[in-house]
Structure 1
Amino acid sequence: MSATTPPLPRIRISGRSFLALTLTPEAPLEDWLNALDHQIARSAGFFAGKPIILDLGTLTEETPHLADLLPALKERGIRVIGIEGGDRSWPAVEGWDWPEGFVGGRASGEMAVPEEEAPEAPVSRTLIVENPVRSGQHVVWPDGDVVILGAVASGAEVSAGGSIHVYGALRGRAIAGIGGHADARIFTRALEAELVAIDGFYATAEEMDASQTSKPTQVALSGETLAFFPLI
């Protein structure tokens, strides 16, 4: 009696869209990096976990200190997933770990980075979004909590200075506590997120607690680790 070979499992393939930001450095690079540091200090957590396209279109192969640009971005926690506008043959970039670029993609226009200022009498306000947040949309509210009455689609992103409450499924990205609010939390009726982050600490879908997938969940920061709890 011969043993039969079990059938191979079916490979499941599906599409997923992401919102990537484009950074366009300008010469002199020392001044541009100083300006970037200033922006990061005023908008803590804005770049946390975000995929970045590096556009070298305003630079040339002779731009001073070009070789140090990509390492400088990595030191600042900026994750570059693609480079455009430059040439791999430039001597200054021959030592770069040049990521493969992406074909296509549609520009969404310049994005305003939220400023983290300290008013004399800070008032926490809540933004209520009554419609679902669709793929490609980016909701930024540094002044307090964000309440989403619907779902957050894959490829969408919600950033808040306080906590984020999603009454539907969270399939996109949720970034709470921007500006250094470690006590912020993320609440959702169904955790299916691509990324969640609080005060600059983040977890991707692969790093989240699998026991909480597609369930009512709250996310909190415990030390430097995100913790996932049932939402009761």
Structure 2
Amino acid sequence: MKFKGKSFIAIVLTPEQPFADWFGEIDRIISRSPGFFIDRPIILDVRGQRIAIEDLETVLAGLAERSVRVMGIDGVAGTRLKPGMPPSFSGGRLTSDVEVPDAQAAAAPADKDEKQGASNVASSAEPKDAAEKKAANGTQSAKSDRENEPKALVVSEPVRSGQRIMHPEGDVTVIGAVSSGAEVIAGGSIHIYGALRGRALAGVAGDDDARIYCTKLDAELVSINGLYKVADDFDETVMNEPAHIRCEKEALIFEKLG
């Protein structure tokens, strides 16, 4: 039998003292985009904070009041958490199918030595064939690497309000506008050949070099690798203009195109 692994894109929130100011930022996002946290996996990251359980209760209660449901807490041992709190959570690595070892797999190491010995004899007797096989394997490996490279997603129509385009494996290109209330999520960069009025989240797979391009910036929120800004924080010189957004020294840089 196989155990299936499945990965999801989660929003990671890192509470900061004073909590009143931090909740003010959360409220600003909700007021600008009321559905931003709805039906989203939310992880609370408190690593390195040595947060008291009482303070953690305050944070969880404040998020619950705002209908932000936390699915896990990263940075607190499960033994410290009180009943009813979300479970301790860590890792965040990509997952894949996990196969349970069977008897045949356990016997494989014993057979491996015998096969390796036979392979060495064949290699000594036929060096030319071995070299040809090695070259062929190298070609296949290079081909496999190319096939495994992240592929770009092209959306050839506007993204309408309420729609969500999610492609965590690579870049996303939208040929058209992204309406208010719509969302584009990409593991790489985002290219919008039209007005960006909704939300654009690039580099969600941990790519600091991801960028956001659009022919007209009027977005509700933009984000690169977890760093975000809402419309109220945008540089006025790029509003309603062709824009390029990048990440530099833990900050989002807005630049006017053309």
**TM-score in terms of structure 2 length:** 0.50
Give the aligned partner of residue 168 of structure 2.
142
Give the aligned partner of residue 202 of structure 1.
228
Pair 1:222 & 2:248 matched: yes
The Cα shift of 1:52 comes to 2.4
CA distance in 2, matches of 1:79, 1:136: 23
The Cα shift of 1:51 comes to 3.2
> 1:53 touches 1:80 (CA, 8 Å); kept in 2?
no
> 2:241 touches 2:256 (CA, 8 Å); kept in 1?
yes
> 2:237 touches 2:256 (CA, 8 Å); kept in 1?
no
More helix by share: 2
The Cα shift of 1:47 comes to 1.7
The percent of aligned pairs where both chains have the same amino acid is 39
Paired residue secondary structure (1:184): coil
> 2:188 touches 2:205 (CA, 8 Å); kept in 1?
no
> 1:51 touches 1:80 (CA, 8 Å); kept in 2?
no
> 1:198 touches 1:220 (CA, 8 Å); kept in 2?
yes
Unmatched tracts of structure 2, length 5 or more: 1-5, 13-28, 30-34, 40-52, 70-82, 84-92, 97-143
Give the aligned partner of residue 71 of structure 1.
59
Quick one: structure 1 residues 141 and 116, their matched pair in 2 at CA, closer, same or farther if it must change by over 3 Å?
farther
1:3-82 → structure 2 map (5 Å cutoff): 46-47=10-11, 51-53=36-38, 71-72=59-60, 81-82=66-67
Give the greater-gyration-radius structure (CA): 2
Give the aligned partner of residue 125 of structure 2.
none
Unmatched tracts of structure 1, length 5 or more: 1-38, 55-64, 85-91, 93-114
Pair 1:211 & 2:237 matched: yes
1:134-173 CA-partner distances (Å, limit 9, x unpaired): 0000110011100000000000000000000000000000
CA distance in 1, matches of 2:68, 2:185: 25
**TM-score in terms of structure 1 length:** 0.55
RMSD across aligned positions (CA) = 3.7
Which of 204, 207, 218 is equivalent to 1:178?
204
The Cα shift of 1:221 comes to 0.3
Quick one: structure 1 residues 68 and 155, their matched pair in 2 at CA, closer, same or farther if it must change by over 3 Å?
same
Paired residue secondary structure (2:67): strand
Give the aligned partner of residue 231 of structure 1.
257
Give the aligned partner of residue 162 of structure 1.
188
Quick one: structure 1 residues 142 and 117, their matched pair in 2 at CA, closer, same or farther if it must change by over 3 Å?
farther
> 1:51 touches 1:79 (CA, 8 Å); kept in 2?
no
Give the aligned partner of residue 4 of structure 1.
none
